[in-house]
Amino acid sequence: MGASGLALRLLVAPRPGALLRAAPTLTLVLFLGPIAAGLAGTALPAFGFLPAIGGERLSLAPWAALLQAPGFAASLQLTLTSGFAATALSLGIVVLFCAACHDTALFRLAQATLAPMLATPHAAIAIGFAFLAAPSGMVARLLSPWATGWTRPPDLATVNDSAGIALVAGLVLKEVPYLLLATLTALNQVRAPALMRAARSLGYSPAAGWMKAVFPVVYPQIRLPVYAVLAFSLSVVDVAIVLGPGTSPTLGVLAMRWFSDRDLALWFPASAASLLLAVLVSLAIALWRMGEAILSRLGRRWIEAGGRGGGGGALRLAGAGALAAVATLSLAALLVLLLWSAAGPWRFPHALPSSLTLETWRAQAGRLAEAFRATATIGALASCGAVALALLCLEAEHRFGIEPSARALWLLYAPLLLPQLAFLFGLQVLFVRAGVDGTVAAVVWAHLLFVLPYVFLSLADPWRAMDRRLARSAAALGAGPWRTFFTVKLPVMLRPILAASAIGFAVSAGQYLPTLFAGAGRITTLTTEAVTLSGGSDRRVIAAWALAQALLPLLVYAVATAAPPFAWRNRRGLAVA
């Protein structure tokens, strides 16, 4: 961690004011440097160049090998269809729900349940969903044999299907809460209530009014999150391992398989596949952008036609139903994990285990505690680091009047718009060369790349909305800028800071590929272990690990929510902030 050590020394050096001014730039270097280097380190082997394993000349051979790999066409097709389907479906559900239910009590309920849904890692939800939907899963058990007549599981591919339907479903469960949160944040910025009042006074039904007056101004605000979802769905590996097909898997899984083969020559086509993923994601975003243009033209015609929309009872039901299905499935996924982790023998088609036991937890306790500790340490370091960097950047922004540009926002989103595979391999090569691979520091840094954008985005709005008169009053009373920062701004910002830390922690705890690549397989977290086990192990053991993986970020989230009211119980103004 040489560069960050340097940054740290610079930041605590004697003239903090001048160095604070450099904080945004330093953060970008710390953050985009490894990504750029990692991308180059993946692109070179994609064209045959990696002298350490005998690739001395640039060539197209890796691409030829990739194109001729068995099942490549099917993999490519699956990657594209599942990526687009998951994104379109998630966005569709969110828009439907917002349009149909924005004025109901359900909307507030959804807001309250969002955060815990977001904090649950992808892999845990995917594993729980598989336990629900598999032919021998909970749904089939509850319906058998009385309704289905099945005394043994049906020979149906309800998970790991070659069309990727289960994969899409698993992704939707996680992407809907994320997009909904992004939409809710955007709604606060566009003065939606005023727009809706105007639309209602012109006689528009709630749903039509929302679609015609609010959605067109909200969408530009959630465009980047939508692209991030598209990029993620196209390139995800852990969910695809759990729910996607094993033969002709997605491109990401195929690349991962080759990266871990004992034949290092396979690193070349694996790098090519990773680079191809990056190209696919860029093309997909461009295609989506074109779709936006077409839809907005059609939509304008629809808006100008002036239809006021109908009663909307059915629509309301559909919107609420879709979101309720997502929330129920997520919750059921966690409950079925809990049940399996405490199950004795449990054969199909019994709806409940024949006995309950803590034997699984007892047998796994040692390993779980170890992975729990590693996950917590890495998550705490990564989220604290990210919060510190974000605060310094925001403070610099405040103090020196730096105006964040739209380009900066794109840069911040870079790690979320690029497939992880596209730069993690290159990054690993760098880490190996520097002799730091397999260390906690390397893993924390790799996590930071994904934690920082989320932390920054969640802190930026509350920070920028902070009442500037507070700082001015403090200055008028004689406090220096740093004293104001520590004794006025930070306490006022405690709630958003803790919320951002919890988000950062959840992001870190859910990371699979960055842990694998930077940790050299020696750093085991709850996520890497749960995904490893999910391929095949006693279901009770998988359940215990997946549940532990889900519980840790939820626990941190609960603490982050409970702490500010406790800390400010004697400050009336802050306690209810």
Partner 1 sequence: MKPMLDRRCLLLGALAAPAAVRAATPDHPLLHAPWTEIVAAARGQTVFWNAWGGDDRTNGFIAWVNDRVSERFGFRVQHVRLRDTAEAVARVVAEKAAGRLEGGSVDLIWINGPNFLAMKEAGLLFGPFVDRLPNARFIDREGKPATVTDFTVPVDGLAAPWRMAQIVYVYDSARVSNPPRSIPAMLDWARANPGRLTHPTARNFLGATFLKQALFELTPDQSVLAAPATDATFDAASAPLWAWYEAIRPYLWRRGQHFPENGPAQRALMNDGEIDIMISFNPSEASTAIATGQLPPSVRSFVLERGTIGNASFVAIPFNAAHKAAAMVLADFLLSAEAQAHAQDPRVLGSPTVLALERLPPEERARFDRLPRGSATLSDAELGRPLPEPHPSWMTRIVAEWERRVSR
Judged by CB under 8 A, the residue of 264, 325, 479, 558 near partner 1 is 264
Question: Looking at beta carbons only, is 15 or 362 nearer to partner 1?
Answer: 362
User: With CB under 8 A as the contact rule, which of the stretches 176-184, 260-268, 331-339, 456-464 interacts with partner 1?
Assistant: 260-268
Distance CA 212, CA 195 (A): 10
The SS3 assignment for 347 reads coil
Does residue 401 interact with partner 1 by CB under 8 A?
A: no
Q: Label residues 190-214 b or e (16+ Cβ within 10 Å = b).
A: bebeebbeebeeeebbbbbbbbbbb
User: With CB under 8 A as the contact rule, which of the stretches 111-119, 218-226, 342-350, 392-400 interacts with partner 1?
Assistant: 342-350
Judged by CB under 8 A, the residue of 331, 363, 402, 555 near partner 1 is 363
Token digits of residue 390: 């974000």
Question: Which residues, other chains included, contact 191 with Cβ-Cβ below 8 Å and sequence gap of 6+?
Answer: none
Does residue 521 interact with partner 1 by CB under 8 A?
A: yes
Token digits of residue 246: 């094993």
Burial class (CB in 10 A: 0-12, 13-18, 19+), 306: exposed
Distance CA 184, CA 191 (A): 11
Binding mask 410-429 for partner 1 (x = CB under 8 A): -------------------x
* Min dist. Cβ of residue 568 to partner 1 (A): 44
Angle at 569 between CA 568 and CA 570, to 5 degrees: 90
* Min dist. Cβ of residue 72 to partner 1 (A): 8
Neighbours of 568 (CB within 10 A): 17
Residues of this chain, 142-161, that bind partner 1 according to CB under 8 A: 151-153, 155, 157, 160
Q: Which amino acid, one-letter code, is at 438?
A: G
Judged by CB under 8 A, the residue of 22, 37, 74, 114 near partner 1 is 74
Does residue 440 interact with partner 1 by CB under 8 A?
A: no
* Min dist. Cβ of residue 422 to partner 1 (A): 19
Tell me how long the chain is. Answer: 577
* Min dist. Cβ of residue 62 to partner 1 (A): 9
Judged by CB under 8 A, the residue of 2, 311, 366, 573 near partner 1 is 366
Does residue 162 interact with partner 1 by CB under 8 A?
A: yes
> What are the C-alpha distances in Å from 275 to residues 82, 407, 423?
19, 23, 9
Distance CA 234, CA 326 (A): 20
Measuring CA to CA, which residue among 469, 444, 458 is closest to residue 495? 458
Question: Looking at beta carbons only, is 151 or 570 nearer to partner 1?
Answer: 151
* Min dist. Cβ of residue 171 to partner 1 (A): 20
Residues that bind partner 1 (CB under 8 A): 52-53, 61, 64-65, 68-71, 74, 135-136, 151-153, 155, 157, 160, 162, 245-248, 257, 260-266, 269, 344-345, 347-348, 363, 366-367, 429, 432-433, 435, 437-438, 520-522, 524, 529, 532-533, 535-539, 541
